């Protein structure tokens, strides 16, 4: 209920729906762990970063994630900065400006694997940015580029 056919297919393929169903079968109160999970995340962030509105949420296509956090983990939402770093938006800008497509991989839809994938895409974007900047500084405009 409440899931689009595209999302259902994606999450069935990744195995996420099966894992969620298993978790719900084990929990007597499925949403009872949200507070505990939020506290664990806040403790981790507090050990590494200043809190209360200064931690930037980053990842790929994270707007849904932020909405979910806002609805289910208000304390964590308050610790996050209002700005977000959406790596997929960076790649969309590169596609529009330079015609470069984002490297594709199969999303794992598991927190740690998705974090690693987002970091990999951010590193690749930074490398591409460096190349584009160097080309622009050397005056080597590529055909079709919107850069001066």
Residues annotated as catalytic are 82
Strand residue runs (E) in 5-124: 55-59, 80-86
What whole-number distance in Å separates Cα of residue 40 and Cα of residue 26?
A: 20
What whole-number distance in Å separates Cα of residue 148 and Cα of residue 145?
A: 8
Angle at which helix 16-26 crosses helix 5-14, to 10 degrees, equals: 80
Cα distances (angstroms) measured from residue 56 to each of 25, 32, 50, 81, 145: 33, 26, 11, 5, 31
SS3 85: strand
Is 76 in contact with 98 (CB distance < 8 Å)? Answer: no
């Amino acid at each position: 209920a409440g899931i689009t056919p595209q999302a259902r297919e994606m999450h069935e393929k990744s195995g996420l729906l099966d894992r969620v169903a298993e978790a719900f079968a084990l929990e007597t109160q499925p949403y009872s762990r949200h507070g505990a999970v939020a506290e664990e995340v806040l403790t981790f962030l507090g050990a590494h970063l200043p809190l209360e509105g200064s931690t930037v949420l980053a990842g790929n296509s994270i707007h849904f994630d932020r909405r979910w956090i806002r609805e289910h983990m208000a304390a964590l939402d308050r610790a996050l900065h209002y700005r977000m770093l959406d790596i997929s938006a960076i790649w969309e800008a590169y596609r529009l400006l330079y015609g470069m497509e984002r490297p594709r991989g199969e999303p794992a839809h598991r927190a740690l694997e998705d974090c690693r994938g987002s970091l990999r895409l951010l590193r690749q974007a930074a490398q591409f940015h460096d190349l584009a900047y160097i080309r622009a500084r050397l005056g080597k405009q590529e055909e079709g580029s919107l850069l001066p």
